[in-house]
Amino acid sequence: MIFNCLVAGVYGQGISTLSHIIAEAAFSCGLDVQISESTFKPGSPRLEGCSALSHVRMGHEIHSPLIRREKADLMIALDAAEAVRSVGMLSPTGRMLVAKDNGKDCDAMIKYLEAYFAYPSEERLAHKNVTDWLTVISGPELAAKCGNEIASNVVIFGAALRKKFFPFVPDNLNAVIKKVIPAEHFDLNVRALKAGMELFGAETP
């Protein structure tokens, strides 16, 4: 079994950090992992504000780091516009967790995504007990309560864990965070992880 997770956003939102946290969490549970990262702005170097995608594939016998179109099992989007741009990467039964900000453009993007997931495809209808195809949270607002809005990526990771969107459950999440996050930002990101998990009523490990 291979599970495909696509992380979408813009450069500067912590896309790479989030991808490596997910990868480390999967690896700690005995899964093989491959990552492929990219930013897109033709003719330009990596700049803040560029579209960014990270492919994280986990499981066994992974032969390519890239997720093919319509094969992503989960998309974590730190930017609503990038979620819309990349929604075609989701499989027919893929889920999406997207961070919402307070901009008018964001509201329009969320409405588009809501309409997309409301479409009664045969694949989704077959999963009668699944209702959370699209989960929208205010990642920046929650992260600000932790002390720094930049921790939105870890808030969303916590939310995805709580909703059991990943095929793994790490024994020690703090150890996972510690391996990826610099020591000076460890406490902030632990608070962000807790905020994301408690958003859906969980007690953090």
pLDDT at 39 over 80: no
What domains, with CATH codes, occur in the chain? 2-139+162-174 (3.40.920)
Say how far apart CA 193 and CA 98 lie, in whole Å. Answer: 16
Mean pLDDT of the chain, nearest integer:
88
End-to-end C-alpha distance for the chain, whole angstroms: 26
Beta strand 32-40 pairing with 51-59: antiparallel
Which helix (H) or strand (E) segment holds residue 146: the answer is helix 139-146
Tens digits of residue pLDDT in 86-128: 999 999 999 999 998 866 788 899 999 999 998 878 888 888 8
pLDDT tens, position by position, 147-165: 888 888 999 999 999 999 9
pLDDT at 131: 83
Q: Give the DSSP per-residue string, 106-126.
A: HHHHHHHHHHHHHS--HHHHT
pTM of the model: 0.89
Give the pLDDT band of residue 49 (cuts 50, 70, 90).
Answer: low
Q: Supply the Cα-derived Rg of the chain in whole angstroms.
A: 16
